[in-house]
Amino acid sequence: MSGNPQRPAVIAELEEISEWKARADAEFSASVAEVDSEENAARRHIEEAQRQLVALATLRAELREKHAQVGLESERRERVAIRQGLGNDRQVIEARASLLAEAIAAREAELQAQLQDPEIASAVEEYEKFVEIEASLAALPQSYRRAILDHHDKVRRRLEPVIAASNAGPPSLGLDPVGVGVLFAVDAPAGTPEALVAVLPVPSAVSRDWSERKEDLCSLFAYRVVAAVSRLLAAIGAGSAPIQYSDLHGCLAIQVWLADCAVQGDLNERALEEIGAVREEAEELTAAGIELYGLWVRPTMLGEEDGA
């Protein structure tokens, strides 16, 4: 017998299988450990993402709640701006009304001073006498009539500056033009109109003191816009609609009830056209450097601002 016995081959194969299995088990354990690590990391990321989602959802809700106040704040600011704009426009008109009254008074004083001049006074007297006898000139001899007419023509030319001054429109103040607005609003804003309001940047007292108030730029402004509103109502088939005058923020408001009228045509466009006509025709506004505009606003914008 030999002294070095040989191991059966199967034992070596089993050992190899065992070693292979051990390696596979080790690889499996390492892979599972790596997957577990990545899974844990992923879970941590998911948890963080969920926390972020919750935070974002909370922030979105806060933003929506905050933005819900933007519309209310916007309306409040619009009401403030409109009220301040009316007040500023009223101050401009009242200030220029005073300046225009002073300019008219100064021109009138200058005219009266001219009329005190003996030559002018005599010419005026002759002019007035001619007016009295003018109708009877046809009965006079032609030569006599011609002489009277020639003399009257000389008197008329002498008085032309005085006559021109007495018939002239309001004197220009020479100031930079400034725009002022008449505000219009209709209720309801869409559909069939039930009520119309026009707000003028002049004192509401103008409507209370029609007969006692001395005519000035404010009253002329009111007269012209009231006339424009009347033309507007006639144009849209509401000429018989009842009109009331009231105070809004210290300014004159013209209120018209339209619910009982069959309004025709474009109320908004026609109102702006009438204001444009006033702007073109009102020589006193031009002299004072006032440029008139019409502006449509929502009815709610004419109310009091929050906290007022």
Sheet holding 243-248, edge to edge: 243-248, 251-257, 195-203, 178-187, 290-296
> For 171-190, what is each residue's pLDDT tens digit?
999 999 999 999 999 987 77
Domain residue spans in the chain? 117-167, 177-302
Spans of the chain below 50 pLDDT: 1, 307-308
Mapped onto helix, strand or coil, the DSSP state of residue 7 is coil
Q: 3-state SS string over the chain?
A: CCCCCCCCHHHHHHHHHHHHHHHHHHHHHHHHHHHHHHHHHHHHHHHHHHHHHHHHHHHHHHHHHHHHHHHHHHHHHHHHHHHHHHHHHHHHHHHHHHHHHHHHHHHHHHHHHHHCCHHHHHHHHHHHHHHHHHHHHHHCCHHHHHHHHHHHHHHHHHHHHHHHHHHCCCCCCCCCCEEEEEEEEEECCCCCCCEEEEEEEEECHHHHCCCCCCCCHHHHHHHHHHHHHHHHHHHCCCCCCCEEEEEECCEEEEEEECCCCCCCCCHHHHHHHHHHHHHHHCHHHHHCCEEEEEEECCHHHHCCCCCC
> For 211-265, what is each residue's pLDDT tens digit?
778 889 999 999 999 999 999 999 999 999 999 999 999 999 999 999 999 889 8
pLDDT of residue 6: 74
> How far apart, in whole angstroms, are the C-alpha atoms of residue 76 and residue 97?
31
Q: What are phi and psi of 3, to 5 degrees?
A: -85, -5
Let me know if domain 177-302 sits in CATH 3.30.70: yes
Structure tokens at 36: 């577990």
Q: What percent of the chain has pLDDT over 90?
A: 57
Sequence-separated contacts (24+) of 226-232 with Cβ below 8 Å: 226/254, 228/274, 228/275, 228/277, 228/278, 229/198, 229/254, 229/256, 229/274, 231/274, 232/267, 232/270, 232/271, 232/274
State the pTM of this model.
0.71
Q: What are phi and psi of 288, to 5 degrees?
A: -85, 0
Structure tokens at 93: 């008109």
Mapped onto helix, strand or coil, the DSSP state of residue 293 is strand
CA 174 to chain centre: 26
DSSP-derived secondary structure for 184-195: EEEESSSSS--E
> How far apart, in whole angstroms, are the C-alpha atoms of residue 168 and residue 80?
41
15: left (phi over 0), alpha (psi -120 to 50) or beta: alpha
pLDDT of residue 140: 73
